[in-house]
A and B are shown apart, each in its own frame.
Chain A
Amino acid sequence: MSFLEPLFLLGLLGAALPLLVHLINRRKATKRSFPALKMLLESNKRVARSVKVRQWFLMALRVLAILMLALALAKPFILSDAGVAAGERLPTAVVLVVDTSGSMTHGEWWDRASDQISDELEKLRPWDEVALVTTTQRDIPERLTDNHAKIKTAAKSLAPEAHTGDLKQALQSAADVLATSQLPSRKIVLVSDLSANNRAGIAPEIPYPIELEQVRDKKEAAPDNLAITGVQYEQDATEEATWQIEAKVKNQSKEAREDVDIQLTFDGEPLSSGRIERIGPGEEVIHIFRHRQTTSGTFSAAVELSEEDDYALDDRFSFVFRTRSKIMVLIVNGEAASIAYDDEAFFLTRALNPEQRSDSGLIPTTITPEGLANKNLSEYDVIILANVPRIPNAMSAKLERYVRDGGGLMITSGDQLDVEAYNQTLVGLLPKPLRGLKELAKRDDPDAPVKITRFGASNHNHPVFRAFSTMGGSTLQSAQVYSYMLLEPGDPALSTTLLSYKDNAPALLERQLGRGRVLLLTTSIDFEWSDFPIRSAYLPMMQRTTQYLARRATSVGDSRYEVGGKVTLETSGIIEERAIIKGPQGSEEPARYVLEPLDGQVVFTPPEPGVYQVWSGEDSNGEPPIEDLTFAVNAAQSESDLTGMDIEAFEQWIAPKAREDGSAGVVASGQTRERRVNIWPTLLFLVTLALLAETILGTRRSVLLRLWRMITRQRLEA
């Protein structure tokens, strides 16, 4: 038995009232002297028993009346399966709401759901109307029909999808459909696992009864599930062609899991595997794969559990692995000159891309300091400020953000450089503040060979100088330096000196900032302050430095797509007429979708998880896909939480008014025929009876006798 207003149960305490009244009355009894007390005592002895029985009966009636009244006010009801409600015999409009979200693929849930759907459709009588609504598909006609065969066919073609469903929206649609029906009885039949992820958001207000067919067993309230929730990769900063691939594995179970094996696949081929020793309940653990990739390109990759569990959709996480093939370098030329040898960037551009056909992948672009403001910095992996006189405040903030986001910045010295301006605006970027020029010798000074200095000690383990520690690597020291920039001591924690001059003054300093780096060269990169540009070490040094500074290839910032969500591809300038999307890659017959770009964008809703490739116009004749547009899609993560939703929380989705007047409610599966039977009207009737009986029994017999005599006398007179 349950109660709608349990607070009124406090009224049960009122059962003590008759007893209290009895005790108080006893104290209030009138005292009288009476001569024939012996005779009274004698009479009392004879009637005492019957009087006592009557008094107890009266007391019981009063207590009972109060108890029943308190119970009735608490509005008790029971769920009974006895008999069939009148409403159930009437023609009924039924909307079958089927949960087709990803979580329904767990174990045998969908099999059970299919059976329940067939059962429900079989139960329909010819005069009943039915409609079908799913939580994921919007293309099923949601209209009531008496053509049951059509609905049966549609129901058979249903299958759970890899994305999340909107149960609330589906129920609301069902309610809207029912609202159009004129039939006297209307109800919703919901086939669902009622997963906890449905709780989020505002509860709908459904004014119709919902019969809930749960597909989960009672013991499956919170099924075990392991999910791979994400993969990120980043190029290793210190080792060439090496990537760190981080996979996040979450334990959605109530118990800890041990020795979980996972593997990394590239283009469907297993590359490496790993083992996670323990994942606590609800815990997320990161496993790192170290992957060496010597060939550049775009790969369909995935991390997956070696052993699938009951919910397979989240056991695999697909991602697109891209190596970087080109490094975009922006050279800001602080001292441009028409004579090539006097141009600050002349030697550097040639060192980075000799003859403009280098295999190094370094693509330099040279601009003047004024042009810097109009450039989109994020398009470049490295920016080199070559002898730039000064940087405006706004620009320095932009540069700082650029470095923190992973970009590389190199500042080189020269005679144009305004020391004070640099110290003011670039304080957040410079490894050490600048002090001023130290000129050792003029280029035409005959004593120059004894006055100049050379590059001295270097950090051999640093990626930039690793090549110089091999045979013949000492050529770096052959360069002559006439002038260099002196530095203030600064904060030693901020910077590392990578290269010094022979006189121990720092030549190349590094500062880490966010995910990026800043290098400061205290001499010039042209012929002005040293003869370094004409030395053989110049080219490898500049290339290594630029490569070292370059933004590392990473998945950070890549868009993350889920099945059922929208994928928007920027195709402006790449695809003109039609985009062909094929996927998921690796399946036997990847589906092929042809879409037209609109305003330079292609919008696509992927139906399955995996990696999709995009072609422009034609995909036959071995045309390669557009690698930059390749994207990965995974199953909806919210579906991984398979915990069941409380039925009480679900009941809140019924419109409060309908819930109170009992016209709507939730009937759980297994109790399909049960309905709410209100007990309080019966209790109130019994209270009335009890009060009537109390009145008759409680009235003085003398009064009753008088009444009786009056009535009989009237009859006789009549």
Chain B
Amino acid sequence: MNTTSTSNEGYLDPATLEKLGNMHIRARQLVEGIIAGLHRSPHRGGSVEFAEYIEYAPGHEIRHIDWKVFAKSDKYYVKQYEDETNLRAYLLLDGSGSMDFAGEEAGLTKLRYASFLAATFAYLFMRQGDAVGALSFDSEVRQYLPASAKTSHLDDLFYMLDELPSREGTAIESALRTIAERARGRSLVMLFSDLLDIDEEVMSFLRVLRSRRFEVAVFHVVDPAELELPYEGLTLFEGLEGDGELLVDPDDLRDRYMEMMRAHLDEIEQQCQEGDVEYIRFTTTEPIEEVALRFLRPRF
């Protein structure tokens, strides 16, 4: 902790995260902060319930062998825990061009911020023994990692999150469709996106997921510059997704833009509430731990 700067509440400054080694270290640092925030011991978590014994076969973890049963029966049995299959968290990451943006105030692009947040959740869930899957998309679904609770899976997840490319186009509905098709049982679907291209279809998909008893959380990442349009002087604005350009003095349309942006955000929030979808909006300047806690606190 002493190698990184912290925000007022003792959280890590998102901008300094980039300097912290690899995703693993970042996630661990963040999770420690979160746990401290929850006032819980990191070793007291987990609600693992014994489900059944299955005979040991090569590939099973040796530490799961029940030695008491071996003493009784002289056979290797491996404990099968309920929690392994209890929660499956799916991290859906928007890798569209618009996510590759960082205003002057923010130290991170929206994409990096979202990937750090997702990594944090992944680490946290995996520590609990929950299965975590991930899916990245832009104009189509790019990468999909099925949910798994294996420790080695975490590396795969982190690798994927670290190397997320950003491309033009946003296809949230195909990402949601893919999850809807592949997710089973009790699942938590976490969507990380700037939701600039959200439409009615996306909202209806979210509602569909909810109706299938999936727990759905939307993490709406916003850059402060998007909220305030803080630029001065004649500016040539270029779209990040090939949607043209505009030469304008930002002063002329700031009021109108901010009004539209507020309406857009309110609309999304309202739609999510109506669809019983958890909605968390945050800017890329907020400490990641705080954002995570906003999601986690009601659950602990």
28 A–B contact pairs at CB < 8 A?
A: A30-B231, A30-B234, A32-B235, A32-B236, A32-B238, A34-B101, A34-B237, A34-B239, A35-B97, A35-B98, A35-B110, A35-B196, A36-B98, A36-B196, A36-B226, A37-B240, A37-B243, A39-B264, A40-B237, A40-B257, A43-B253, A43-B257, A44-B253, A47-B256, A700-B251, A701-B254, A702-B232, A702-B254
Which of B98, B253, B255 has a CB less than 8 Å from the CB of A40? Answer: B253
Question: Does A39 contact B257, Cβ atoms closer than 8 Å?
Answer: yes
0/1 string, B85-103, CB within 8 A of A gives 1: 0000000000001110100
CB distance from A49 to the nearest CB of B (A): 11
B229 surroundings in chain A (CB, below 8 A)? 40
Q: Which residues of B contact A (CB under 8 A)?
A: 97-99, 101, 110, 194, 196, 223, 225-226, 229, 231-240, 243-249, 251-257, 260-261, 264
- Please state if A47 and B237 are interface contacts (CB–CB under 8 Å): no
Q: Which of A286-312 contact B (CB under 8 A)?
A: none
Q: Is the CB of A38 within 8 A of B196?
A: yes
Given contacts A35-B196, A40-B248, 12 further A-B contacts (CB under 8 A): A30-B236, A32-B238, A34-B225, A34-B238, A37-B238, A37-B245, A42-B260, A47-B253, A47-B256, A51-B249, A700-B232, A701-B251
Docked complex: A7-59 residues within 8 A CB-CB of B: 25-26, 28-44, 46-47, 51, 54
Is there an interface contact between B251 and A40, defined as CB atoms closer than 8 Å? no
In contact, A33 and B101 (Cβ under 8 angstroms): yes
A22's nearest neighbour on chain B, judged by CB, is: B234
The residue from A30, A38, A46 contacting B239, defined by CB atoms under 8 A apart? A38
Asked whether B231 lies within 8 Å of A32 as measured between CB atoms, the reply is: yes
Q: Which residues does chain B contribute within 8 Å of A37, judged by CB atoms?
A: 237-240, 243-246
- B101 pairs with A40, CB closer than 8 A: no
B contact residues around A40 at 8 Å (CB)? 229, 237, 246, 248, 253, 257
When A35-B101, A51-B253 are in contact, do A30 and B194 touch as well, CB less than 8 Å?
A: no
Q: Bin chain A's interface residue count.
A: 20 to 34
Interface residues of A in 477-498 (CB under 8 A from B): none
Contacts of B101 in A (CB 8 A): 33-35
Q: Which residues of B contact A54 (CB under 8 A)?
A: 252
**Residue numbers in B under 8 Å from A32 (CB-CB):** 231, 235-238
| Residues A26 and B234 in contact, CB atoms below 8 Å apart | yes
B253: A residues at CB distance < 8 A? 40, 43-44, 46-47, 51
**For the complex, what is the distance from the CA of A393 to the CA of B97, rounded to whole Å?**
123
Whether the pair B261, A39 counts as a contact (CB closer than 8 A) is: yes
- Nearest-neighbor residue (CB-CB) of B104 within chain A: A32
Central interface residue in B223, B260, B264, by most chain A CB within 10 Å: B260
Checking B223, B231, B257, B264 against A35 with a beta-carbon cut-off of 8 angstroms, the contacting residue is B223
**Set of chain A residues within 8 Å of B233, measured between Cβ atoms:** 29-30
A54 CA to B252 CA, complexed, in Å: 10
A278 to chain B, nearest CB (A): 79
Secondary structure class of chain A's binding surface, majority of residues: helix
Least CB separation from B243: chain A residue: A37
Is the pair A30, B98 in contact by a Cβ cutoff of 8 Å? Answer: no
Q: Which residues of A contact B246 (CB under 8 A)?
A: 37, 40-41, 44
**Which of A32, A39, A43: most chain B Cβ within 10 A?**
A43
Q: Smallest Cβ distance from B269 to chain A, in angstroms?
A: 17
- Residue with the greatest number of chain A CB neighbours at <10 A, chosen from B240, B244, B248: B248
How many whole Å from B236's CB to the nearest CB in chain A? 5
Q: How far is the CA of A30 from the CA of B238 in the complex (A)?
A: 11
- In this complex, the member of B231, B246, B261 whose beta carbon has the largest number of chain A beta carbons within 10 angstroms is B246
> Which single residue of chain A is at the shortest CB-CB distance from B256?
A43
Q: Are B260 and A39 in contact (CB under 8 A)?
A: yes
Say how far B206's CB is from chain A's closest CB, in angstroms: 21
Complex Cα–Cα for A701 and B255 (A): 10
7 A-B pairs with least C-beta separation = A35-B98, A37-B239, A43-B256, A43-B257, A29-B234, A51-B252, A43-B253
Q: Contacts of A36 on B, CB cut-off 8 Å?
A: 98, 196, 226, 257, 261
Take A37-B243, A38-B196, A40-B248 as given contacts and tell me if A31 and B256 are in contact as well, using a CB distance cutoff of 8 Å.
no
CB-based contact A25/B234 at 8 Å: yes
Q: B109: nearest residue on chain A (CB-CB)?
A: A35
In angstroms, Cα B257 to Cα A30, docked, is: 19
A202 CB, nearest partner CB in chain B, Å: 63
Cα-based distance from A37 to B245 in the complex (angstroms): 8
Residue of B nearest to A52 (CB): B252
Contacts of A39 in B (CB 8 A): 196, 257, 260-261, 264
CA distance A46 to B196 in the complex (A): 19
* Assembled-state Cα–Cα distance A384/B231 (Å): 119
Q: For A31, give its contact among B226, B236, B244, B260 (CB under 8 Å).
A: B236
